[in-house]
Chain A
């Protein structure tokens, strides 16, 4: 029964999405989409409970067993991510009603909702699948729909950015496909579990190595690691503020999860550390990413752009953690992923509502925001604290774990770099917060009326922040949970 839920949670959004495109009434479509998303969320929660109690779930398409058939597999880690993806999608959708209806015309909303649902399905599929080619299919589904989501925006640059995203994303997908092809030709199987059993025999194969590198390159492009991040910045800058919390929080994080699974489960650290030099490369690029992105964020006067750069900086940290190559690294990377998903989603949601009410992202216009939107500013502070790494948030646990891991590996230079970049993150976040909290001399003493903050979005952000804070306070239990969760 549960196995069917696995596939249902992918199929349902696709079907509903397709049906949506046919209808015209935007209010009804919105309702149906929300219902579908909540159902998917419930499915994923149920699946996670099942996985934690009974172990991994496998689903074989059409009853065909591997290595012949296509399989789905959910482990503990993947199930948690499935919950995260679906819940962020749901929460984003719920709170964004006013923004959505503000940004798009009534006629385009059904199509948008349909595309959104298919995107969610795509990401869920990426997380659930156990087959290489299926993986590629779902990656493509997710990517195509995300190109579409980026382009549906009232921003002037959205077309160009989406086109850019399309081109680079297709290149990345091509790399992935090539990689998968080589892996298939070397091992003879597309099933990941089967591939794992075949790996020890294929350790010296050059084909495997090539396949691995190609696959990694494609996934790295999609995650937005440093030299390959330009599309990331442009597309997120240009996308609509409804899409940004979902895409910005979820998309690159899913690919990073894939990279983690690839490095630690599929190929295994023995292969990766001995035969490839990817760890060193990831660490260096991650450190450089965090530093340079932080410096770029420092120069930004636009709130949303600053948050995008800060995302890149955090992705740098995650890659350093992945590159460490030991268990500490994995745990830290997962904490970073989770905390970033929560914090960035909240921050982008808050930003979108700030934009909705103040009509501007520029720092000078957001002067003394505390008078107008006090709860928003308070929640902004809590989530920003998670990004900077202030204690009692998850971000602090992640940063601390990263430092411990780096010292254990003896990489002191990288330690210096990330410590500097976290200091810079304090600087660029605080610049904005200071404007929010206190009036500056140059601004006119206009009367700042108290805005009506959207109750739903506040509730959503409070939910996300409280999970963040709870995990930060009860960190011992959280660590136990993570240890249990990771392979």
Chain B
């Protein structure tokens, strides 16, 4: 088992090393890095199997004798998702980098692999201080990917990205962590939480400090960095800002609720407001505001960014119900959204690589030219809306189910229903535009959209889409694994 852990940690570092060493032959570098990264996915699956064999709720491991790590179901699911989607992104980048020459492969792979390494370390951290350390490092290592091209616009957006994330963590996360350390003395992740010794009445404020301090989970006042981060290239936006960075924010919030505060403690002590707790209300507000913003976007990347923010708020809304089913629902939604969103980003990136289109209006008629890719785009967006045949329905239905399981949480039901309506609103617009006939035949219509040109991109899209469709099976496994969590 520690062997698998070692393999898991070492693979991104090997990819980093390879990206420096192989800078002469860029194409070979991409392919080798893809192959190496798929080993990390293998390692995470074997790690899960080993964890299931042990059967404990929480496993502490000592890596190299002095670095201690902690494995538990939530982090294992997160690691599995991140490594799989990272491998898919590497597959995708093989063609993407070949076509888009403004991206420098060495720098790209270097920082991407290091960011994934830091993400895995966030998942394995045994206490909140170590998590905070790697959280900050993640911001730093993803910055060069956002400001990759180095033009004025990218620099400005990347600056806002950096300021917002580091500012939120310095102003809110660090003081909250300090408060925890000052009153309890340590910040280890323990079953049942360690917050029982906190002064009464400070729980709500502390939790809110954490909620807004972990700005990577993109709650509405702290969400501005995500649209700004969209100046990055498509693979970066796909894996980092739909999967690794934002999901690590959600992951940290989940761990804080379950292992630092403890669900029972939170349920009984958090400030209640409007027949539900204040955290639900804030998450619901964030959900509605970001969904409404998404309707007005005309560029596909910004639309997907705001849609990501609203789906993340759904995860947080599910978490804010603070009972075991709700946590499982949040994780299910995290995974299903990751698959759907990454498919959407990949498909848009495909369009962009072929013809540099990034505005939704120009997508007209693409449904007939790139049938396969656009069919997967449509189905992924239907999944994110939450229509029954697709993955998003399973996760949203589970959230509904968890909302009624103890006392009926009408607020969550109402907000979730409204969000489905608004999500449907902006996605159906895109779907229609894809399938309608273009009014003006422009030069862009003569672009070659053949699959062979960007074969690896197609393969990657098919792979993530398969993940989406096989969500039924994934769902069983995730629920099984989550039943091992002790609250």
Q: Which of B129, B174, B177, B182 contacts A408 (CB 8 A)?
A: B182
Contact across chains for A427 and B171 when beta carbons are under 8 A apart: no
Known contacts A392-B133, A400-B178, A407-B182; A441/B167 CB under 8 A: no
Give A441 to B155 CA distance when docked, in angstroms.
11
Chain B residue contacts of A400, Cβ below 8 A: 129, 174, 177-178, 181
Contact across chains for A419 and B174 when beta carbons are under 8 A apart: yes
Interface code A424-463, partner B: CB below 8 Å = 1, 0 otherwise? 0011001000100111110000000000000000000000
A413 within 8 A of B: no
Q: Which of A390, A419, A434 contacts B140 (CB 8 A)?
A: A390
B410 within 8 A of A: no
Contact across chains for A426 and B140 when beta carbons are under 8 A apart: no
Q: Which of A405, A406, A426 contacts B166 (CB 8 A)?
A: A426
Q: Which of A399, A419, A439 contacts B150 (CB 8 A)?
A: A439
B476 within 8 A of A: no
Chain B residue contacts of A439, Cβ below 8 A: 150
Interface positions of A from 335 to 390, Cβ below 8 Å from B:
385, 389-390
B248 to chain A, nearest CB (A): 15
Contact across chains for B170 and A423 when beta carbons are under 8 A apart: yes
B340 to chain A, nearest CB (A): 33
A430 to chain B, nearest CB (A): 7
Q: Which of B129, B133, B175 contacts A419 (CB 8 A)?
A: B175
Contact across chains for B163 and A427 when beta carbons are under 8 A apart: yes
A99 within 8 A of B: no
Q: Secondary structure at chain B's binding surface: helix, strand, loop or mixed?
A: helix
Chain B residue contacts of A440, Cβ below 8 A: 152
Give A404 to B181 CA distance when docked, in angstroms.
6
Sort chain B's interface into a size bin: 20 to 34
Give A408 to B183 CA distance when docked, in angstroms.
7
A91 within 8 A of B: no
A391 within 8 A of B: yes
Known contacts A423-B170, A439-B150; A391/B136 CB under 8 A: yes
Chain A residue contacts of B162, Cβ below 8 A: 430
Give A407 to B175 CA distance when docked, in angstroms.
8
B432 within 8 A of A: no
A199 within 8 A of B: no
Give A407 to B198 CA distance when docked, in angstroms.
13
A415 within 8 A of B: yes
B26 within 8 A of A: no
Contact across chains for B174 and A399 when beta carbons are under 8 A apart: yes
Q: Which of A408, A426, A438 contacts B163 (CB 8 A)?
A: A426
Interface code B133-146, partner A: CB below 8 Å = 1, 0 otherwise? 11011001000000
A396 within 8 A of B: yes
Q: Which of A385, A407, A419, A426 contacts B179 (CB 8 A)?
A: A407
Most buried by A among B132, B134, B167, B178: B178
Chain B residue contacts of A419, Cβ below 8 A: 170-171, 174-175
Nearest CB in chain A to that of B167: its residue: A423
B169 to chain A, nearest CB (A): 10
A49 within 8 A of B: no
Give A79 to B181 CA distance when docked, in angstroms.
31
A314 within 8 A of B: no
A420 within 8 A of B: yes
Chain A residue contacts of B181, Cβ below 8 A: 400, 404
A254 within 8 A of B: no
Chain A residue contacts of B175, Cβ below 8 A: 403, 407, 415, 419
B159 within 8 A of A: yes
B170 to chain A, nearest CB (A): 5
Give A422 to B174 CA distance when docked, in angstroms.
11
Contact across chains for A422 and B170 when beta carbons are under 8 A apart: yes
Chain B residue contacts of A422, Cβ below 8 A: 170
Q: Which of B136, B166, B178 contacts A404 (CB 8 A)?
A: B178
Chain A residue contacts of B133, Cβ below 8 A: 391-392, 396
A294 to chain B, nearest CB (A): 12
B124 within 8 A of A: no
A442 to chain B, nearest CB (A): 9
B10 to chain A, nearest CB (A): 18
B243 within 8 A of A: no
B334 within 8 A of A: no
B147 within 8 A of A: yes
Contact across chains for B174 and A438 when beta carbons are under 8 A apart: no
Contact across chains for A426 and B170 when beta carbons are under 8 A apart: yes
Chain A residue contacts of B179, Cβ below 8 A: 407
Give A345 to B163 CA distance when docked, in angstroms.
26
Contact across chains for B171 and A420 when beta carbons are under 8 A apart: yes
A379 to chain B, nearest CB (A): 15
Contact across chains for B178 and A403 when beta carbons are under 8 A apart: yes
Chain B residue contacts of A426, Cβ below 8 A: 163, 166-167, 170
Give A404 to B155 CA distance when docked, in angstroms.
34
Give A404 to B179 CA distance when docked, in angstroms.
6
A436 to chain B, nearest CB (A): 12
B354 to chain A, nearest CB (A): 29
Nearest CB in chain A to that of B132: its residue: A391
Give A434 to B177 CA distance when docked, in angstroms.
29
Interface positions of B from 158 to 205, Cβ below 8 Å from A:
159, 162-163, 166-167, 170-171, 174-175, 177-179, 181-183
Name 30 A/B residue pairs within 8 A (Cβ), A-sorted: A385-B140, A390-B136, A390-B140, A391-B134, A392-B137, A399-B174, A400-B129, A400-B174, A400-B177, A403-B174, A403-B177, A404-B178, A404-B181, A404-B182, A405-B182, A406-B178, A407-B178, A407-B179, A407-B183, A408-B182, A419-B170, A419-B175, A423-B171, A426-B166, A430-B163, A434-B155, A437-B150, A438-B150, A438-B155, A441-B152
In the complex, besides A391-B134, A430-B162, 11 extra interface pairs with C-beta distance below 8 angstroms are A390-B140, A399-B174, A400-B129, A407-B179, A419-B170, A419-B171, A419-B174, A419-B175, A423-B167, A427-B163, A430-B163
A residues contacting B by CB (< 8 A) are 385, 389-392, 396, 399-400, 403-408, 415, 419-420, 422-423, 426-427, 430, 434, 437-441
B residues contacting A by CB (< 8 A) are 129, 132-134, 136-137, 140, 147, 150-152, 155, 159, 162-163, 166-167, 170-171, 174-175, 177-179, 181-183
List of 5 A-B pairs having minimum Cβ-Cβ separation, nearest first: A403-B178, A391-B133, A407-B182, A408-B182, A438-B150
